[in-house]
Amino acid sequence: MNRRVTSIESLILLALLSSGAHAVDDLEWSEPVRIELPAPTRQISIKPGADLATLVERYQLESAQQLSLGQAGTVLEINATDQQWAGLEQSLCNDAAVTACDTATCQSIQFEAEVDPGPRGDSGAIRGRIVRSTPEALLTLPGEADIETDAAAGQCRVEPLADLLDEPATPGLNQDLMLDLDLVEQAGSRGRTRSYEVDLAKQFNATGGADISGQNLPSDSSDYQLELAASCGTVSVPLDCVKPAFIPGLIVALVDAGAAGQVATQNGLAVVREVTLDSTGESIAVFATPSDLPTALTGLARDNRVRLAQREYVYRTTAEAAEAETTATGAPVRYSDPFARFTYGPDRTGARLLQAGVTGELPLIAVIDAGVDGVHPEFDARVTVQDATGSPLTPSAHGTAVAGIIAAAANNGVGIYGAAPTARILALQACLPKQPNSLSARCRTSTLLKALDLAMAANARIINMSLAGPPDPLLERYLRLALQQDRLVIAGAGNGGPHAKPGYPAAIDGVLAVTAVDAADKHYAAANQGDYIDLAAPGVEILSPTPDGRYPPLSGTSMATAQVAGVAALLLQRDASLGARALRSALIGTAADLGAPGKDPIFGYGVVDGCAAAKQLQLSDRGGCPARPDEATDSSATGGDRAVGP
């Protein structure tokens, strides 16, 4: 593991750096993100008494929303691109049952910037803005003030949207677009106006799709949203889907053990932090540079004591407070925990059935996250807490919630029960909340590396990473080491929405990438989509423990990732000899298919099914799981003598 960078590798890296681009920025992830704006809404007014079913079938309007106007008839509302509408309009709008066809009024965002005419005289306009994301809501119980909603209400003014495109643009025509964007520094108040250069590849389609890439945007983009509009649609994506978020002025490097001081002196840098990685004997060094980053990185690329140097990237935990408390699913209650009836995740994944048959060794799960409240009554001394940030250990909402979804105790008369109620947790503080009691927390490349090092040193069989960020060569290097050691690494797909780029580390080959669904198997709207998604799991309105003793409903791929980690722990508890590769293969191969047949970019292979995985691994004869799927709700299947909650 102490291999030096070869001269050829140095030349390649030097060429990348001297060209003005950081090595990571040349990865596919940082290419222009594709934003598909929603198709415009069309309304079709239907005469009273018309045969609606026949009309819907004739014009294939099964997806239309129906609005009854009583004696005035019915309105059908559909979303259709200009091309789709052109194929429908002439026949549909002239049908005897139709009284009118209208395109719904567009409403969008307030700032417009013109695109300069190109060499062919093409012209057009796009509205866009960069806004600071709504401040993270402090966790509240149902009935308390809805901080998040109140903040969002005052964030910006919405104005009518005029036609944004004068005429269709020529595909492939690239133009520089200068947007004087109102940067909203915090909810309810406007900051100063700044100019951001955005390279706009004018490849608009009928729905207003556009390729964009960011230049001169905020260095730490993790708090910002990019919002664009064209035609009748608007779309918002996290700004770090356009440009990776990093800490300005900092470099993280993998160096020879103890060499950080000498490297810094000879390269005009200052050592911020040096941490030894026991797993490889190397050091992670964080340097501050007074010069521009490309110049500093070029110098480090020439230093034979440096394996790899890059920006200090920012990752975010992937959860948000749900708007309302989750509802009961109708599944039979087995535990005495007060909120057991609302704990639908273990029922949907088969974890509750698996719990009846586990008697083996307790597996160790490393939760790389924000701080966990190790003395919370849900954990009954099964949680060990360590720090990877150099900061005091501080219990957080996100870390405690993730650990609780995995391993909250059952039948202890407190709160909920976890997917694997007896599992052992190694809680590694690699992320720090942005503010006290905040659900959102930030992690850095260097802290994640140290946390992985601690997880491997402790021989954690499962590593849970409910966080997402950009591609990161250093992080990938150590994750691959963990995978080579036959550890199961599970990560959240990310909460960037359908237009976001792949979330890392979930998108690394071999990592189990998890998206979220609700109690009805509906996909979580804020989750990323992409071919890297492997599994889905319950992650919407999940009651979760927090350090203050409350159990707010939380949503996100963070919650779903924890559910899968719990199922994997139960399978390992049945057979400690299981390898991670076999376990991963079983979880993927037995998932309950959702969406398009087979693997798809929304649900992956489908919802995790612990009982089906146990059967494939020949572990289903050890109690708990039913012989037939229709036995899953039989009270005898999970031990009907367990106490029933209120």
Q: Would you name the residues annotated as active-site residues?
A: 369, 398, 558
- Strand 553-555: give its sheet, edge to edge: 320-321, 553-555, 542-543
Helix (H, G, I), strand (E, B) or coil at 548: coil
How many degrees, rounded to 5, is the angle at CA 640 between CA 635 and CA 646?
95
User: How long a stretch of residues is the chain?
Assistant: 646
Q: Tell me the two tokens of residue 62.
A: 């099964």
> How many CA within 13 A on the CB side of residue 296?
23
Handedness of CA 632, 636, 637, 638 (dihedral sign): positive
CA-wise closest residue to 500 among 21, 36, 22: 36
- Distance separating alpha carbons of residues 82 and 88, to the nearest angstrom: 10
CA gyration radius, the chain: 26
Q: Are 251 and 298 in contact (CB under 8 A)?
A: no
49 sits in the region (left: phi over 0; alpha: psi -120 to 50; else beta) called: left
The helix or strand, by DSSP H or E, that contains position 150, with its residue range, turns out to be helix 147-153
Residue type, 461: R
Listed in order, strand segments (DSSP E) in 553-605 are: 553-555
Handedness of CA 17, 27, 257, 468 (dihedral sign): positive
**Alpha helices, DSSP H only, in 411-501?**
445-457, 473-484
Give bridge partners of residue 199 from the DSSP assignment.
176, 213
Helix (H, G, I), strand (E, B) or coil at 109: coil
CA-wise closest residue to 594 among 581, 584, 603, 585: 603
Q: Tell me the two tokens of residue 26.
A: 């040349």
- Distance separating alpha carbons of residues 622 and 573, to the nearest angstrom: 11
If 0-12 CB within 10 Å is exposed, 13-18 middle and 19+ buried, where does residue 481 land?
A: middle
Q: Tell me the two tokens of residue 184.
A: 């909203």
The helix or strand, by DSSP H or E, that contains position 589, with its residue range, turns out to be helix 580-589
Q: Give 119's contacts (C-beta < 8 A, 6+ positions apart).
A: 173
